[in-house]
Amino acid sequence: MPVEPLPDQRILLRAEDTSVLIDLTAGRLPAIVHWGSELGELTAADAAGLAAATMPSPHANGTDQVSRLAVLPEHHTGWTGRPGLSGSRRGVGWSPKFTTTGLTISGERHEGPESVEGPAAGGVPLATYGVASVETAAVDELSQLGLTIRIELLSGGVVRMQATVINNGADDYQLDDLVLALPVPAQAREILDFAGRWGKERTPQRQPLGVGTHLREGRHGRTGADAATVLHLGTPGFGFADGEVWAVHTGWSGNHTHYAERVYTGEQVIGGGELLLPGELILKPEQSYTSPWIYAGHGIGLDAVARRFHRYLRSRPQHVDADRPVTLNVWEAVYFDHSLPKLIELAERAAEVGVERYVLDDGWFGGRRNDQAGLGDWTVSTDVWPNGLHPLVDKVKELGMQFGLWFEPEMINLDSEVARAHPEWVMATGDRLPVEARHQQVINLGIPECYAYVKDAISRLLDTYAIDYIKWDHNRDLIDAGTQPGGVPGVHDQTLATYRLIDELKAEHSGLEIESCSSGGARVDLGILQRTDRVWVSDCIDPLDRQQMSRWTTQLIPPELMGSHIASERSHTTGRRHDLSFRAATALWGHLGIEWDITGANDDQRAELKAWLDFFKAERGLLLRGDLVRIDHPDPALMGHGVVAADRSRALYSLAMVDRSEVNGIGLVRLPGLDPDRRYRVSPVIIGGWPQTRFLPSWWSADRPYVDLTGAALARVGIQPPDLPVEHAVILRVDPLD
């Protein structure tokens, strides 16, 4: 009996200056007529006209019939680019042809002229919604597959897509790949995504999009320091404030893909999905697989795209408060040398300068005196801590701070009690162990008994001590990550198990916060951030490098989710030395913390540090909730950025010299984002003395260190910056005059 297709219809989603027009006609999978700039109210006739005007045209040597590309691209339509679904039943059923049979819409429905009532424009009605979820069900009886596709328009104007494939057959179906993609117009021909390495994550890279596929594969078993993070496709030369940009992010913490593709017909898409290892997902009858969410944003300029992601994340009920506690992490102060007197002295000095959370890092458990032993033995070392952690935890609490503890739950050292008892819990394939990294292997959370062991061990510690915060580390890639003895690939199951472990620990321990740290910033994605409360940007906290890394990490996440610490005077990763003013002025633009042995700081340094922390506390409502702006300036020696209040009443900006310019004066610096019709006072934030510069601009003098201008003048003309030495920064505050 033939499948009854869904009646023809179109759906318009509109929210926050974004429109998404979805075409559901001829029983085909959902296709996007338009996503991007707001279209305003449409009638059914308007939607039909737009669909007709944008339908691909026939071309020489092409198929006789043309169809609009679905969000899950289908090979049977004649699409010769990357297919959305790849798989088979031992070589059969590899090119499915789905018919959409069902539709569910949830969200705020809007009535518009001719938009809902009755068929129009060739009998295809239009329904208009705001923030909403559109879910379609489809089947292919020949390949015996079912398919569900969800398209959502979220707060902030972010588009989100996900698909589920169901095996309706009587035999196994091997799923090799499932990706979703969105169309991008022809004027978008320049790619921006990211590369990176340990200690220098999220390094931007640009290139033109030609015919073919720009494919970024993450095969680390985690997101990876070199991850694309956000793949942008825009009009050539787009910047922070100009040029039309479309962007996509795969919200998954295991192996994954991002891609941009332009085919010989001129059509082009951006998309992504999970990267599946060979034989990793074999669906038994009635089993299903659900892809990760694919997030997409559009805007005029990179800042507009970033703010969409930020507003969506801030709209979530579990999102962190702006009142983020200032944190001290002890790693670079003591490393593995855990001495109670030293750690208590650190806690006392921290409380004196205004720290609100104290985190004990690696080295407190099992035989963990260095990085070669102990991982997996999650019991407090009686050798180092004969009275347990109680003396330190009690002191930290007495000083009025929260207490945090470091774990690496997904890892194991072979030199550990758990590895000796359960060698089969080590992820491996074939008859060999994976090559070691940092003297460690991966513990297989996909094994139920192993999962229970790790969860119970962490839970006992959370029940024993008043732990408010976990620094959750992950210090090696997943190589040969299989389940013994056969070595069946296990990255997918490991990723889901990690998600479940975090979810269950947080559900069972109310108020617990968890930071995602992964060799620094190697796991920054919206999969892990659906369940954690911040990410560690990088193990490198040299402020010069952090200027770049923080600048681009905020392309996806807002500052409050970004661990940003004041470094030691001499960087432990680069060896460079910097004044406290540059270290603090750099760290200020995230969730502020300290990674420095402040017991060795002198009185003047501690006083200045306290002044910076006091400034952050006074301004964190703006710093961690304002709208991000980054400054396009022609001289790369200057790196400028800021945050503007949502009502544009006030702002803070940072101007940092990250290199030496070839000219003495770099020119005027514009301050974007303010109300053009409002008057403001611009003044420097002076903490710890005036900047080390021989020359100040004429508007900034000792008796009158400010200038009054309109928002239009500040954004369109700008101001002369101070003549700062390289690797120094100044903070400017902008206050209203009315």
Helix (H, G, I), strand (E, B) or coil at 190: strand
Phi then psi for residue 312, to 5 deg, are -60, -50
**In contact, 179 and 296? CB cutoff 8 Å:** no
d(CA 550, CA 454): 33
Q: How far is CA 616 from CA 120, 621, 682, in A?
A: 57, 9, 18
d(CA 381, CA 394): 18
d(CA 53, CA 56): 9
H or E segment to which residue 368 belongs: none
Distance of CA 185 to the CA centre of its chain: 25
DSSP string, 599-643: GG--HHHHHHHHHHHHHHHHHHHHHTTSEEEEE--S-TTEEEEEE
How many other C-beta atoms are found inside a 10 Å radius of the C-beta of residue 266? 11
Helix (H, G, I), strand (E, B) or coil at 396: helix
Q: How far is CA 683 from CA 266, 520, 653, 654, 657, in A?
A: 51, 35, 10, 12, 18
Strand ranges (E), 111-172: 126-140, 145-153, 159-167
Closest CA to 535 of 513, 567, 551: 513
d(CA 560, CA 654): 17
Strand ranges (E), 457-612: 469-472, 482-483, 488-489, 513-516, 534-536, 562-567, 591-595
Q: DSSP assignment, residue 694? A: S
HSE value, Cβ hemisphere, 13 Å, CA-based, for 367: 11
Q: How far is CA 629 from CA 275, 340, 500, in A?
A: 34, 44, 35
Q: What tokens does 301 get?
A: 């300029």
Q: What tokens does 632 get?
A: 């396009």
Catalytic residue among 303, 377, 539, 545: 539
Q: How far is CA 344 from CA 389, 436, 599, 655, in A?
A: 12, 35, 10, 37
d(CA 284, CA 295): 29
Closest CA to 69 of 58, 55, 50, 59: 55
d(CA 452, CA 396): 30
**In contact, 696 and 702? CB cutoff 8 Å:** no
Q: Is 539 a catalytic residue?
A: yes
Catalytic residue among 23, 226, 303, 473: 473
d(CA 661, CA 664): 7
Residues 6+ apart with CB under 8 A from 332: 541, 567, 568, 572, 595, 596, 597
Please report where in the chains the tokens 């995504």 appear, as a residue: 193
d(CA 176, CA 469): 38
Cite the active site residues: 473, 539
